[in-house]
Amino acid sequence: MEFGTLFYQVLTLFVLILVGWTVRRLGIFSDEVTAGVSRFLVNVALPALVIDSMQLPFDPALAREGGAIALIGGVYFIAAIAFALVFPRLIRARADERAIFSFLIIFANTGFMGYPVVNAIWGEQAVFLAAIYNLLFSLLLFTVGVLIMSGSGSGWRGISPRVLLSPGIVSVGIGLSLFFLSVDLPEVIGGPVTMLGGLTTPLSMIVIGALLARLEIRAIFGNLRVYLYAGVRLLLLPLATLAVLRPFVDDPLILGVIVIMAAMPGATNAALFAEEYGVNPELASQSVFITTLFCIATIPLIAALVA
């Protein structure tokens, strides 16, 4: 893997976070603007990105690999969800922190960072497999992810079934239908969808920076539980995934993609969803920031084990 490629991706994230921190400190972004941009991302830009990422041509030659990674990825996510239910209690997280840590155990930054990293290691075939993996990610993000965030206050029993009709979940249904039917959106629709989806990464980083601007520098680095989470997210999860899957997965490409995806830092969507549902967005931003900072050292280490 080219170190320069990884460094560029991480540096890009930090520059955008710095922009968000600066515009909030200068008063260009208020709390109301930050909340409005976050709602736009969750309800418009991110669903557009989901649909756009599923605009993939069906290739019979990759069907077997795609099916295998979908199956293995599904097993990984089931295990991650089970672990996410107990992890907050293991680190003695406060009640207002549990939903954030559960969400971040399940979901990593497998889009903006995942695609370029696997491309740098293995090339285009790995990008296709990463896209299949991210189909599962998107489906769970707007189901399990939404349920975790929306249910953290009143409990799972208080969740309205209308959550399942959120723009994000609807976008997964649309995207999957287009994918399996090999339907390409006409340019007059596909173009705007692509442009809207392209707003997700830069705007989400800016929102994270704006949310971090609410905190003092000491507070960003002062939560011990965030470091415990970072160790689990960046090292324990990928190493455990490698140890468990290696005896059963013969294809080194499939194994490598799954492990590298498990090694990504916390999903930026955590901060967006936390802001949308009013569940400790500052902690979500802290966790994303810290794991993104440390991943520049941990991802090359994990890549060396599987590449």
- pTM given for the model: 0.80
Model confidence at 184: pLDDT above 60: yes
Q: Which residue has the higher pLDDT, 211 or 164?
A: 211
Q: How many CB atoms lie within 10 A of CB 29?
A: 22
Residue 46's DSSP bridge partners are none
Model confidence at 256: pLDDT above 90: yes
The number of distinct structural domains making up the chain is: 1
Phi-psi region of 5 (alpha: psi -120 to 50; beta: other; left: phi over 0): alpha
The pLDDT, as a whole number, for residue 200 is 86
Domain around 8 = 3-29+72-161+198-306
The model's pLDDT over 111-146, given as tens digits with 9 standing for 90+, comes to 878 887 887 788 777 888 888 898 889 889 888 898
Residue 266's DSSP bridge partners are 108
The pLDDT, as a whole number, for residue 290 is 92
Main-chain dihedrals φ then ψ at residue 228, nearest 5 degrees: -65, -45
Q: Which residue has the higher pLDDT, 181 or 6?
A: 181
Task: For residue 143, give every residue at least 6 positions away whose Cβ sits within 8 Å of its Cβ, in sequence order, or none.
Answer: 164, 169
Whether residue 59 is contained in a domain is answered as no
Structure tokens belonging to residue 46: 């991110």
The pLDDT, as a whole number, for residue 42 is 83
Average pLDDT over the chain, rounded to an integer:
86
Question: Do the beta carbons of residue 37 and residue 207 sit within 8 Å?
Answer: yes
Task: For residue 100, give every residue at least 6 positions away whose Cβ sits within 8 Å of its Cβ, in sequence order, or none.
Answer: 270, 274, 279, 280, 283, 284, 287
Count of all residues that appear for the chain in the document? 307
Whether residue 269 is contained in a domain is answered as yes
Q: Taking residues 10-25, what's their average pLDDT?
A: 87
List, as one string, the DSSP characters of 84-131. HHHHHHHTT--TTTHHHHHHHHH-B-TTTTHHHHHHHHH-HHHHHHHH
Single-letter amino acid, residue 57: P
Whether residue 57 is contained in a domain is answered as no
Whether residue 56 is contained in a domain is answered as no
d(CA 289, CA 294): 9
Q: Which residue has the higher pLDDT, 219 or 203?
A: 203
Phi-psi region of 93 (alpha: psi -120 to 50; beta: other; left: phi over 0): beta
Task: For residue 266, give every residue at least 6 positions away whose Cβ sits within 8 Å of its Cβ, in sequence order, or none.
Answer: 104, 107, 108, 109, 229, 233, 284, 287, 288, 291, 292
Read off the pLDDT band of 91 (50, 70, 90). very high
CATH number (domain holding residue 76) = 1.20.1530.20
Whether residue 169 is contained in a domain is answered as no
Q: Taking residues 19-35, what's their average pLDDT?
A: 92
Q: Say what percent of the chain tops pLDDT 70.
A: 92
The pLDDT, as a whole number, for residue 264 is 93
The pLDDT, as a whole number, for residue 242 is 97
Model confidence at 46: pLDDT above 90: no
Model confidence at 177: pLDDT above 90: no
Q: Taking residues 224-230, what's their average pLDDT?
A: 95
Whether residue 289 is contained in a domain is answered as yes
The model's pLDDT over 47-83, given as tens digits with 9 standing for 90+, comes to 898 888 878 777 776 678 888 999 999 999 999 999 9
Count the helices and strands in the chain (H runs, E runs): 17, 0
Read off the pLDDT band of 103 (50, 70, 90). very high
d(CA 206, CA 25): 12
Whether residue 63 is contained in a domain is answered as no
Whether residue 175 is contained in a domain is answered as no
The pLDDT, as a whole number, for residue 2 is 59
Q: How many CB atoms lie within 10 A of CB 107?
A: 25
Main-chain dihedrals φ then ψ at residue 122, nearest 5 degrees: -120, -15
Closest by CA to 232, choosing from 105, 107, 137, 108, is 105
Q: Taking residues 242-264, what's their average pLDDT?
A: 94
